[in-house]
Amino acid sequence: MPTITRLSAADFRDSVKELADLLVDVVDDGFSLGFLEPFDQAAAVTWWEAREAAVTDGGLVVWAAHGPDGIVGTVSLALEAKPNGRHRAEIVKLMVHRDARGQGLGRELLATAERAAARAGAILLLLDTATGSPAEGIYLAAGWTRFGIVPGYAADPAGRLEDGSFFYKQLA
């Protein structure tokens, strides 16, 4: 199992290229993460670099799963800054490289983010994913509740509209 570590602001800055490689791999494999084809390394680097301020100020927490050849997975936790919403957080950009799937890494990344959210005082977690995606099974098995499906919510990388499933999990 790869080693999962929380990225400090400096570690995040140093990991942008590898995080971008992972993002390109996942989008190239057809997963809907908010990007359309063609999607290249430069676009992925730009996207990750735009997250740096949020990582630095603590509003976005990013973990990386390191395998023998570099980063093979990641998950982020977006903490709510609004005073009336500080009890909730959002799981974003859970990704596992296609060569590292099927080994429980996605479940472990999710659990890592859930534990950190609880330590940060969050009692409600939210996320969304493409309906029918393999991720839905991970979330359901981890005790998440689907509370709705929005038809045609987002386009997949090829531009085809996909339904979006929305989940929540209450933490004890």
Cα–Cα distance for residue pair 37/33, rounded to 1 Å: 11
* Cα separation, 22 vs 35, whole angstroms: 13
User: How far is 76 from 60, CA to CA, in rounded Å?
Assistant: 7
29 pLDDT higher than 90: yes
Q: What is the pLDDT of residue 28?
A: 96
pLDDT at 1: 85
Tell me what percent of the residues of the chain surpass a pLDDT of 70.
100
Band the pLDDT of 6: cuts 50, 70, 90.
very high
pLDDT at 34: 94
Per-residue model confidence as pLDDT tens digits over 87-134: 999 999 999 999 999 999 999 999 999 999 999 999 999 999 999 999
Q: Roughly how many angstroms between the first and final C-alpha of the chain, as a whole number?
A: 27
pLDDT at 172: 80
Helices then strands, each counted (H, E), the chain? 5, 7
Tell me the mean pLDDT in the region 17-37.
Answer: 96
Write the pLDDT tens digit of every residue in 155-167: 999 999 999 999 9
Buried b vs exposed e over 134-169: b needs ≥16 C-beta within 10 Å?
ebbebbeeeebeeeeeeeebbebbeeeebebbbbbb
pLDDT tens-digit series, residues 38-79:
999 999 999 999 999 999 999 999 999 999 999 999 999 999
